[in-house]
Structure 1
Amino acid sequence: MIEDTCSQPEQRRHNQGVALISVLLSMALVLACLGLLATRSMQQIQSSGDSMKMSAATLASYSGQNMVTKALKGTIRNDLTQAVMTTSHSTSRWSYGTGTGTVPDAATVDTDLAIVKTRLQGFADTAFCSGTPTFVDKATINIRVHFTATACGQAIPSNISLPPGRFVEGAPRNGTGSVANQTYSLPYLVVVTGNKGKSKRLTTLLGEYQFQVGRSSFARFGLFTNVHQSAAGSDVVFTNNILYDGPVHTNGKFYFSTGTPYFGSYVTSAGCNNSTCTTQTPSVKIPSGTQAASVANTAFSGGTNSSNCVQYQVCPELVKGIDFNASYIPMPTNSSNQQAAAQADGIYYAESRTLKMWAADANGAAPATGVAATAQYIQTCKTSNTAVCETWRITMVNGQMVKQKNTSTTTTWGTATNSWAAATSFNGVVYATAFSRLGGPDRTGTTPATAPAALASFAQITVASDGNIRINRDLKYEDTPCSGSLARAANGTIQTATCNNLGADNILGIYSQNGSVSVASQSSCVSSTSCTATQKLDHAPNDVTIQGVVMSSTGEFNVESYNSGLDRGAINLLGGVIENYYGPVGTTGGTGFKRSFTYDQRLLQGMSPPYFPTTPNDEVTAVFTKGYGIKEQ
């Protein structure tokens, strides 16, 4: 048999072709699977990215809600207080609304609160409408807060309406006894949109902004003058080196000179034409050639672009604006409240005394570094015979201050002669007809930093008198609410103090009804070699530090011999000054002291020394936010 050898190669080629097609088909199938997997992976990655962006947008939206809640308890609360002071019926039965029953008429409450809503809306728009906060992950938020139907130029969502303002609780004021606190409520809506890329999350929160209204304390002012002149009748001029970061008010008229004085809080004037304010002319004095022109409220504004700046070179920086139509706030006419408090549960003297305060341990010794004092000491001596003294120890028992008198028979008190009477309650008021010296411990060096604390971290004290009070030493808190001071940097920017310890409890009030509060200064006592022993005691140290609220109802806060001697540095005050006249502390020629006043931000939140004088005006004494659940869209 003869074989057909020519057919074998053809068969092999056929088999190879089939194998090649199979391989190609397998590769196509694998590539298709890989493509499908890649597409699905990309979709999953994109979905995961979108999910992460949506999570970031949601988190940002909730963070915006928290920012608003914080503002309602902080900056907007301060704005609310300012609105309440100018809109409440402070002499009526009800701060808002009318009625003779046990609660005010609901409709009249809502009508009266409408004015407050409108003002708060302006404050909220200023706080939230102009900025878009950005977070670390580059998510952003847009915030608007509705107290009215329109916020940031946008209408409230159509499916939401705000309930009326209402009265919550409180007793009517009948004109007798202490003024009852009353609580009112303003409904609000917070709308926050969180943004991350193309992802958005909108959250809304409907809530109530409840605020308690009580009598305002004079302690809330950074500067208050009844007559904005010196006792001698000279005009007080706000110049470029004047800096205030607390509320500033005068019953009279401000006088602005050239330059850019700084006012970081509310500035108000009643425009009274005399000390008892029988007539008012809302105006401000500014230089006009050699005369001082009166400018109407509507014609005066702050900033370098204002018309008064262009025309008169008067360019105050007014962070919160200025109001020349504020209410007249009369000064207290007597100190009977402080006297009665001191006689009841305080420390009372019907004579002139010296007073020294210091923070220490139970044995009167300075506590170790970093250890809080457990006792507050107060030592008073007769002005007529400074060898006759009494020493008191103040401690905390069950959250209340109690006092113990040292009963040692020695004329000089010391830790070795401790003998304490039984503890009795202490309301924080120390009263004498005058205080010829008031201060804390002597410095251990030459700078204010070396002055030991005068007030223990728990102590809340008001030193009150019907006569003069002379400060002869530093008065420092053990627990300082603020660090740094208000100052203008070399480049012209304003540096404010850091007040991040607003939970501090210690506070001091210094109040004179019919005298002045003075920083003691002996013109001839310019060095230790030229001072007698008595002069040293009556000569406050240079760069004296005063932490507390100082008030003189009929006099002024001033410096003795301010216009003689040498440059004494600055009065470093943390608190506020309330005075009938604007007292002098130094001269442009370099004698006396300069002002370095920093506002204690706790005062704007309602904190006040015990039994400190109050005004006839209302203020917000507490706020409460009640949210009814956040909704997501």
Structure 2
Amino acid sequence: MPRPESTMPSTQGFALISALAVMILITLITFTLVTTSTSELMQTNSSQGLMRARALAEASVAEQYATVMNEGVTKANQVLLPYVDTFAASSQDAASSPIVPSSSYSSVLAQLNSVVTTTTAITAPESMGTSSGKLVFQNFRVDLGSFSKAGQTYYVDYVLNGQGKSLKFVRNITTSGTLRLILGRTYLNQYVLLADDGGFNRGNCTTKNGKTYCEGGGYFGTGSTFDGPVHFNRNLALAGTPVFQYGLTVASPTTYMWDCQAKAWAVTAAQTTDCTKPDYGGYGQQHVTDTVDLPKNAFSQGRAALGGDPQKTGALTNSEICLATGQKSNCTPATGVYVPSSGSTVTGGIFIQGDAKDVQLSVEGTNQVYTIVDAAGVTTVIKVNATANTTTIKKGNGQPSVLQGVPNGQLYANGSIQSLRGPARRGQLANPAPSTPDSTVVPPAIAEQTQLNVASSGDIRIQGDLTYEKNPNQNPDAKNVLGIISGQGQVLVGQGAPNDVYVMGSILAGADGKGLKVEGIDNGAANYGYRGKVHLLGSLAEATDQLRGVGSVTGALVKGYDDDFKYDKRFLNGGVVPPYFPATTKFGVTAFIPQQRTWEEQ
């Protein structure tokens, strides 16, 4: 039965409320979606604006850093050179008197900030923003610990500010760093590799599309590693991926780089070519730097061995040799090994008249031992005890004699040294051979307290490992140091040298056309084979870089030795120098590539 109408519930009002609620909900969802999309769009625009502003700020900083690296380095030299010239013309000693007086520091800073471009302005395309940059030099100062007869080290800080603007967005970036400047004569062991002539033999050249390409040979390529400053005056060629971990400086305006597309050597001032991509350790390749001259003989070292004045650089005379070695004043010097002395006291170093057939350096307890075979075949054994301050000499089958004092650190052969080596190895090296020798396999040649310079008027042939008792890689305060100087000949890695030969010390061959050469490598008939690497811990200065290995410009060596040159960090700024090791002849300024210290956004 149906119910009366008055008792049925009404549903029209509920339906209206439900419809309104759904409409409100849809409106809220739509509003939320619209609001979210608008917010995301605004956030995207904001993010892009901030990114553009930062990129513009970084562009200004990068441009200012390029200014420091190029114009800053060059003009720092120009600002400081008058101070150096004035000091060089005076009678002052750089070991005790400052080259730049402290009263001139503010003037130096003012000149630097005046002559170097200090502002930049960049406008982004399509009106997307602008940026400005500012460079300021500050805090010019001297390193008091660097004072030496050769010169002094100074530092100046730089601050780079970059501001980027894109629409209403602004970003500010500040970086700072330090420029190092060496004033004075630089010791020739300041570079892990220094060469007047890089050894590239230039052939016929052609010009294509405005670029010059040449034939030739003699280059540094893949496998060559230099862990320290490297400098060439001229004729440098690069191929593949050689490593210059402290950068590369070149006095010439260009270098030669292998171009794979042209299949020739490109004459270029660029950092790389299509397939030559050196690793500069972040320092880059810098052209048109100062030329570094090398000494052409070792007469100074010969005179030091005799106990004479090493500042006199003329040729040795028979008279001074005879007087210093205890012979008649007007004699023809007799072949042999001498330790110049007065009475029973040592007054010089070790002097060899004539060729030395063999010079072996070894360590016996606390003694530095020299076993020398002279041109007549006589063996002389010299034991130097630095602790007891005595030198014991035994010639041939004769009785030992003891002198008070020790040699001054200079060994000189007035002839050639046909074999220079340390003790024989005690086993096999690991494969591949490490850059640092295993001392249980390679016994030391140079005692912990020995500071020695080995020089000759002719060739010096390295026929074995020459390593320190205290490796400076593991002992930064190590005192042992070795110099090897060929006055008018080559320093040779002899055919009897072992594979992966180890040499610790500073090598110098400054006579025209001379350098560090692998003996017999240029003999096409010789079956030489690949010999591993010359593991040099120290430095090499040479007139012309010599052939040490043969291979392809795009591949590894097949004959001879690769270069594995590691820098002895003690040599930096003249901290450690072998006795009587020469410095550059020119008093000048060397500004090194700046080092960034901080980066921050403000």
Please state which band the TM-score falls in when normalised by the shorter chain.
0.5 to 0.7
- Any residues of structure 2 matched to 1:403-482 within 5 Å, and which? 404-407=391-394, 410=397, 419-433=400-414, 434-447=416-429, 449=438, 450-482=441-473
- 2:508 is aligned, of 524, 548, 551, to 551
User: Post-superposition shift, 1:550?
Assistant: 1.6
Q: Is residue 2:189 matched to residue 1:219?
A: yes
Is contact 2:508–2:540 with CA below 8 Å preserved after alignment?
yes
SS state of the match for residue 587, structure 1? strand
- 2:578 is aligned, of 600, 606, 609, to 609
**Structure 1, residues 19-62: CA drift from partner, whole Å, max 9, x if none?**
xxxxxxxxxxxxxxxxxxxxxxxxxxxxxxxxxxxxxxxxxxxx
- Any residues of structure 2 matched to 1:177-192 within 5 Å, and which? 181=151
The separation in 1 between residues aligned to 2:156 and 2:199, in whole angstroms, is 40
User: In 2 relative to 1, CA 509–166 (structure 1 residues): closer, same or farther, beyond 3 Å?
Assistant: closer
User: Post-superposition shift, 1:459?
Assistant: 0.9
Amino acid at match of 1:428: G
The match for 1:238 is: 220
- Any residues of structure 2 matched to 1:369-408 within 5 Å, and which? 374-382=366-374, 384-386=375-377, 388-397=378-387, 402=389, 404-407=391-394
Amino acid at match of 1:610: P
The match for 2:566 is: 598
The match for 1:40 is: none
Amino acid at match of 1:598: K
The match for 2:248 is: 267
SS state of the match for residue 515, structure 1? coil
User: In 2 relative to 1, CA 254–232 (structure 1 residues): closer, same or farther, beyond 3 Å?
Assistant: closer
- Any residues of structure 2 matched to 1:473-492 within 5 Å, and which? 473-482=464-473
SS state of the match for residue 464, structure 1? strand
- Any residues of structure 2 matched to 1:502-521 within 5 Å, and which? 502-521=476-495
* Unaligned segments of structure 2, at least 5 residues: 1-68, 93-98, 119-132, 160-177, 204-215, 308-347, 430-436, 552-556, 591-602
- 2:538 is aligned, of 575, 584, 589, to 575
User: Post-superposition shift, 1:85?
Assistant: 12
SS state of the match for residue 189, structure 2? helix
Is contact 1:84–1:618 with CA below 8 Å preserved after alignment?
no
The separation in 1 between residues aligned to 2:284 and 2:82, in whole angstroms, is 29
Is contact 1:358–1:453 with CA below 8 Å preserved after alignment?
yes
Is contact 1:231–1:583 with CA below 8 Å preserved after alignment?
no
User: In 2 relative to 1, CA 427–620 (structure 1 residues): closer, same or farther, beyond 3 Å?
Assistant: farther
SS state of the match for residue 421, structure 1? strand
User: Post-superposition shift, 1:243?
Assistant: 1.9
The separation in 2 between residues aligned to 1:610 and 1:549, in whole angstroms, is 11
Amino acid at match of 1:390: T
**Structure 1, residues 92-135: CA drift from partner, whole Å, max 9, x if none?**
77368899797877776644466789999x9xxxxxxxxxxxxx
The separation in 2 between residues aligned to 1:346 and 1:213, in whole angstroms, is 31
The separation in 1 between residues aligned to 2:256 and 2:245, in whole angstroms, is 19
User: In 2 relative to 1, CA 519–169 (structure 1 residues): closer, same or farther, beyond 3 Å?
Assistant: closer
User: In 2 relative to 1, CA 211–251 (structure 1 residues): closer, same or farther, beyond 3 Å?
Assistant: closer
The separation in 2 between residues aligned to 1:291 and 1:184, in whole angstroms, is 42
The separation in 1 between residues aligned to 2:443 and 2:100, in whole angstroms, is 52
* Unaligned segments of structure 1, at least 5 residues: 1-78, 123-152, 172-177, 190-207, 272-280, 303-307, 362-373, 412-416, 483-499, 522-538, 622-633
The separation in 2 between residues aligned to 1:325 and 1:432, in whole angstroms, is 38
The match for 2:331 is: none
Amino acid at match of 1:351: G
User: In 2 relative to 1, CA 347–100 (structure 1 residues): closer, same or farther, beyond 3 Å?
Assistant: closer
Is contact 2:255–2:267 with CA below 8 Å preserved after alignment?
yes
Amino acid at match of 2:570: R
The separation in 1 between residues aligned to 2:146 and 2:540, in whole angstroms, is 32
**Structure 1, residues 609-632: CA drift from partner, whole Å, max 9, x if none?**
1111211355899xxxxxxxxxxx
The match for 1:44 is: none
The separation in 1 between residues aligned to 2:184 and 2:87, in whole angstroms, is 15
Structure-2-length-normalised TM-score:
0.58
User: Post-superposition shift, 1:408?
Assistant: 5.6
Equivalent residue pairs, number: 406
User: Post-superposition shift, 1:166?
Assistant: 8.2
The match for 1:10 is: none
The separation in 2 between residues aligned to 1:376 and 1:576, in whole angstroms, is 23
The separation in 2 between residues aligned to 1:585 and 1:356, in whole angstroms, is 24
Q: Is residue 2:353 matched to residue 1:350?
A: yes
The match for 1:41 is: none
User: In 2 relative to 1, CA 154–218 (structure 1 residues): closer, same or farther, beyond 3 Å?
Assistant: same
- Any residues of structure 2 matched to 1:131-210 within 5 Å, and which? 181=151
**Structure 1, residues 253-282: CA drift from partner, whole Å, max 9, x if none?**
32222x3322110311111xxxxxxxxx44
Is contact 1:97–1:109 with CA below 8 Å preserved after alignment?
no
The separation in 2 between residues aligned to 1:439 and 1:463, in whole angstroms, is 11
Same amino acid, percent of matched pairs: 26
The separation in 1 between residues aligned to 2:275 and 2:373, in whole angstroms, is 53
Structure with the largest fraction of strand = 2
The separation in 2 between residues aligned to 1:567 and 1:94, in whole angstroms, is 48
The separation in 1 between residues aligned to 2:570 and 2:145, in whole angstroms, is 26
- 1:293 is aligned, of 266, 291, 295, to 266
SS state of the match for residue 604, structure 1? helix
The match for 1:501 is: 475
The separation in 1 between residues aligned to 2:460 and 2:428, in whole angstroms, is 24
User: Post-superposition shift, 1:314?
Assistant: 2.5
Is contact 2:151–2:186 with CA below 8 Å preserved after alignment?
no
Q: Is residue 2:497 matched to residue 1:540?
A: yes
The separation in 1 between residues aligned to 2:509 and 2:249, in whole angstroms, is 20
SS state of the match for residue 240, structure 1? coil
Is contact 1:97–1:110 with CA below 8 Å preserved after alignment?
no
The separation in 2 between residues aligned to 1:240 and 1:114, in whole angstroms, is 45
The separation in 2 between residues aligned to 1:596 and 1:183, in whole angstroms, is 28
User: In 2 relative to 1, CA 469–83 (structure 1 residues): closer, same or farther, beyond 3 Å?
Assistant: farther
Structure-1-length-normalised TM-score:
0.55
SS state of the match for residue 329, structure 1? coil
Is contact 2:105–2:141 with CA below 8 Å preserved after alignment?
yes
The separation in 2 between residues aligned to 1:378 and 1:585, in whole angstroms, is 28
The separation in 2 between residues aligned to 1:180 and 1:573, in whole angstroms, is 25
User: In 2 relative to 1, CA 119–595 (structure 1 residues): closer, same or farther, beyond 3 Å?
Assistant: farther
User: In 2 relative to 1, CA 620–170 (structure 1 residues): closer, same or farther, beyond 3 Å?
Assistant: same
- Any residues of structure 2 matched to 1:12-91 within 5 Å, and which? 87=77
The separation in 1 between residues aligned to 2:298 and 2:146, in whole angstroms, is 28
User: Post-superposition shift, 1:464?
Assistant: 0.7
SS state of the match for residue 318, structure 1? coil
Is contact 2:84–2:587 with CA below 8 Å preserved after alignment?
no
The separation in 2 between residues aligned to 1:321 and 1:520, in whole angstroms, is 34
